[in-house]
């Protein structure tokens, strides 16, 4: 956590995600092997010194089951159920009492995140909080500029460049729709101001919803300081609303993972054609050929070679292992110096001892 203030966090994860056209709650769709909610929850936990409240709604049972499974990674956190999805402002209204009850400890400010922006980086969130604290603002919002802002809330500024309000796309005038600076939906808000503002929220829009963005105009009218932190990386602000957005996030997240591995000493002949999940570890001087897929919590040792079109899922691989082309290894353990394949299939529980050789078309 970059600042010294007591910071609680809220994650808004109650949306149905109708454009995903899926029975699965939107925030449980996977990006680089993890539900997208993972990334928001981990970021919130790193940034917050106090309670993290995760607001769930659509498919709340499935989301709560997932949160329970990952409890050790996300604790401490509280689940808040938004029975009726009446907008982002309503979601924050449900979470605020949980974060401010006496047992939760003192709160100076809130970090508000969406559960469907998995590409948002820790560096950007830290910069946002630093900006809020250095500017002594009552509210700081994260914004970016994109060439095609349709569907996003526009940031309306005054003649001196000051933030005046955010208008949602469906409520915007023709002139406001020409604005290219958009609201990302991530905020740092002074706790005292937020509590008062939430009590004044009204559904004054065409959707009959409570917009959290309305508190921006409230702050301005009260003469409080509102600032925007503008990120130049519009891609990291991508909210996942469709399968196309999901594919964009997937590609970018995997690019980041491959870059991180290459910087740590892993060789990739064609990183665009190597798929590595977020939970995978790969040792230095290991070479990954095109078409390799490393899934789940796979761990690869040092100085290994994994040839094209091999898939490893939750598999442990020791040092100096050679895996030939087109092998499938599922929850297997491969010890140092072993040679596998080509075209080998190792089923869950398979144990390949040191310097053993598993030949062509072998299935264990």
Q: Hey, which residues are catalytic here?
A: 19
Beta bridge partners of 229: 142
Nearest CA to 184 among 218, 132, 149?
A: 149
* Contact between 195 and 216 (Cβ < 8 Å): no
Nearest CA to 315 among 299, 303, 292, 335?
A: 299
Task: Give the span between the Cα atoms of 194 and 44, in whole angstroms.
Answer: 18
Q: Which helix (H) or strand (E) holds 73?
A: helix 71-74
Token pair for residue 295?
């899934």
Task: Give the span between the Cα atoms of 56 and 61, in whole angstroms.
Answer: 9
Q: Which residues contact 213 (CB under 8 A, 6 or more apart)?
A: 88, 89, 153, 165, 166, 167, 168, 183
Token pair for residue 255?
């690019």
């Amino acid at each position: 956590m970059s600042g010294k203030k007591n910071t609680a966090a809220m994650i808004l994860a109650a949306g149905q995600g109708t454009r995903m056209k899926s029975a699965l709650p939107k925030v449980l769709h996977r990006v680089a092997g993890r539900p997208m909610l993972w990334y928001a929850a981990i970021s919130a936990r790193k940034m917050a010194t106090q309670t993290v409240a995760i607001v769930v709604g659509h498919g709340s049972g499935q989301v709560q089951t997932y949160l329970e499974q990952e409890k050790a990674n996300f604790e401490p956190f509280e689940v808040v159920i938004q029975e009726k999805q009446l907008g982002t402002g309503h979601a924050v209204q449900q979470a605020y009492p949980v974060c401010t009850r006496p047992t939760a400890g003192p709160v100076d400010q809130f970090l508000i995140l969406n559960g469907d922006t998995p590409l948002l980086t820790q560096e950007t969130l830290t910069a946002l909080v630093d900006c809020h604290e250095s500017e002594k603002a009552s509210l700081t919002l994260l914004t970016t500029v994109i060439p095609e802002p349709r569907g996003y809330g526009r940031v309306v500024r005054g003649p001196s460049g000051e933030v005046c309000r955010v208008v949602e796309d469906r409520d915007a005038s023709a002139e406001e729709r020409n604005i290219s600076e958009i609201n990302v939906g991530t905020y740092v808000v002074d706790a005292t101001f937020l509590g008062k503002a939430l009590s004044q929220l009204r559904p004054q829009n065409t959707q009959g919803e409570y917009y959290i963005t309305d508190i921006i105009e409230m702050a301005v009218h009260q003469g409080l300081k509102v600032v925007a932190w503008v990120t130049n990386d519009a891609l990291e602000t991508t909210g996942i609303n469709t399968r196309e957005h999901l594919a964009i996030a997937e590609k970018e997240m995997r690019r980041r993972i491959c870059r991180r591995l290459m910087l740590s000493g892993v060789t990739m002949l064609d990183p665009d054609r190597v798929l590595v999940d977020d939970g995978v570890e790969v040792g230095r001087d290991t070479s990954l050929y095109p078409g390799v897929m490393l899934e789940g919590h796979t761990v690869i040792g040092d100085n290994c070679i994994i040839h094209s079109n091999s898939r490893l899922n939750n598999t442990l691989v020791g040092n100096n292992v050679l895996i030939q082309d087109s092998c499938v290894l599922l929850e297997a353990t491969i010890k140092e110096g072993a040679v596998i394949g080509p075209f080998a299939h190792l089923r869950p529980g398979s144990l390949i001892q040191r310097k053993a050789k598993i030949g062509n078309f072998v299935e264990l």
